[in-house]
């Protein structure tokens, strides 16, 4: 049988080959598509791909929950005092499961005045995820870090607002390429907040509390206290 390029069988083969090539090209393009991020300070950051080597300043449990199973392997440096110093029990628990966190580079911390641009640059991460307070501490040194080719991405869970929690979770999900996990966590968080506020509002009590004592306050706690119509006392 002679070759006939217009034969139905050959046409189907050609279409299959073309579809495969287009599919491969599309996949390759998507894999290398730039990731555009707006952090909690309204700063625009573009990453070429999800980060593989991360310098993490704070919010360790949030980062791990959002990133998933690869979270520890992708950590390169941390502000150790905010983990081991302020949350020793949590750090010890993670250390038992992930011994490699003992080898992470410590870039110092803002509270003791030991965090520096030099330490962050020397760690050579793909990206540095910092709290808003850490970014403010760095001041002009933040520009030095970015000029060295290390993007800074700012998140903020300390604000204790639903808006900042949601934004920070989405930002970390984008940086790490785990947006699906981030979206699921956000949905769960919104659900639990709504449920808590509803239960507080509808709670049947013979007598409202005369006062609520709390070590730290945030807008979410304020809303609950306001619902209870009880004065706050902070020690």
User: Does the structure show a pLDDT above 60 at 233?
Assistant: no
Can you spell out the DSSP letters for 143-210? HHHHHTT--EEEE-STT--HHHHHHHHHHHHHHHT-HHHHHHHHHHHHHHHHHHHHHHHH---SS--S
Superfamily of domain 34-189: Nitrogenase molybdenum iron protein domain (3.40.50.1980)
Where along the chain do its domains lie? Answer: 34-189, 208-235
Least confident interval from 5-19, 83-97, 115-129, 155-169: 5-19
In the chain, helix, strand, coil percent, each to 5?
50, 15, 35
What average pLDDT does the segment 81-89 reach?
94
What average pLDDT does the segment 136-146 reach?
96
- What is the DSSP code (8-state) at residue 135? H
The closest of 191, 161, 180 to 65, measured between CA atoms, is: 180
Structure tokens at 69: 């199973």
Measured distance CA(56)–CA(3) in Å, rounded: 62
Hey, is 6 helix, strand or coil?
Answer: coil
Structure tokens at 168: 């920070």
User: Does the structure show a pLDDT above 90 at 38?
Assistant: yes
Structure tokens at 30: 């998507």
- H and E: helices and strands count for the chain: 9, 9
How do residues 216-229 score in pLDDT, each as one tens digit? Answer: 555 555 555 555 55
Burial class (CB in 10 A: 0-12, 13-18, 19+), 118: middle
Answer whether 55's CB lies under 8 Å from 107's CB: yes
In this predicted structure, what is the pLDDT of residue 227?
57
- Output the average pLDDT for the chain: 84
Roughly what angle, to the nearest 10 degrees, separates helices 179-202 and 60-67? 120
User: Does the structure show a pLDDT above 90 at 156?
Assistant: yes
Least confident interval from 43-57, 64-78, 109-123, 217-231: 217-231
In this predicted structure, what is the pLDDT of residue 29?
46
Measured distance CA(58)–CA(61) in Å, rounded: 9
The closest of 99, 104, 98 to 79, measured between CA atoms, is: 104
In this predicted structure, what is the pLDDT of residue 123?
96
């Amino acid at each position: 049988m002679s070759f006939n390029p217009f034969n139905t069988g050959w046409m189907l083969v050609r279409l299959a080959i073309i579809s495969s090539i287009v599919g491969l090209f599309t996949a390759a393009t998507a894999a290398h598509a730039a990731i555009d991020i707006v952090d909690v300070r309204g700063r625009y950051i573009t990453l070429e791909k999800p980060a593989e080597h991360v310098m993490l300043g704070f919010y360790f449990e949030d980062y791990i929950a959002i990133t998933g199973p690869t979270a520890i392997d992708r950590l390169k440096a941390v502000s150790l005092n905010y983990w081991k110093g302020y949350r020793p029990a949590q750090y010890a628990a993670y250390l038992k499961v992930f011994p490699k966190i003992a080898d992470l580079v410590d870039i110092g911390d803002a509270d003791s005045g030991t965090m520096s641009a030099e330490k962050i640059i020397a760690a050579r991460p793909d990206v540095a995820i910092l709290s808003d307070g850490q970014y403010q501490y760095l001041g002009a040194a933040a520009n030095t870090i970015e000029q060295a080719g290390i993007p800074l991405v700012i998140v903020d869970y300390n604000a204790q607002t639903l808006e900042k929690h949601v934004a920070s979770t989405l930002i970390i999900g984008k940086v790490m390429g785990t947006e699906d996990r981030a979206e699921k966590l956000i949905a769960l968080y919104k659900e639990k907040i709504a449920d808590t506020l509803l239960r507080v509002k509808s709670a049947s009590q013979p007598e409202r509390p005369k006062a609520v004592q709390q070590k730290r306050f945030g807008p979410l706690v304020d809303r609950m206290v306001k619902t209870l119509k009880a004065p706050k006392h902070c020690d």
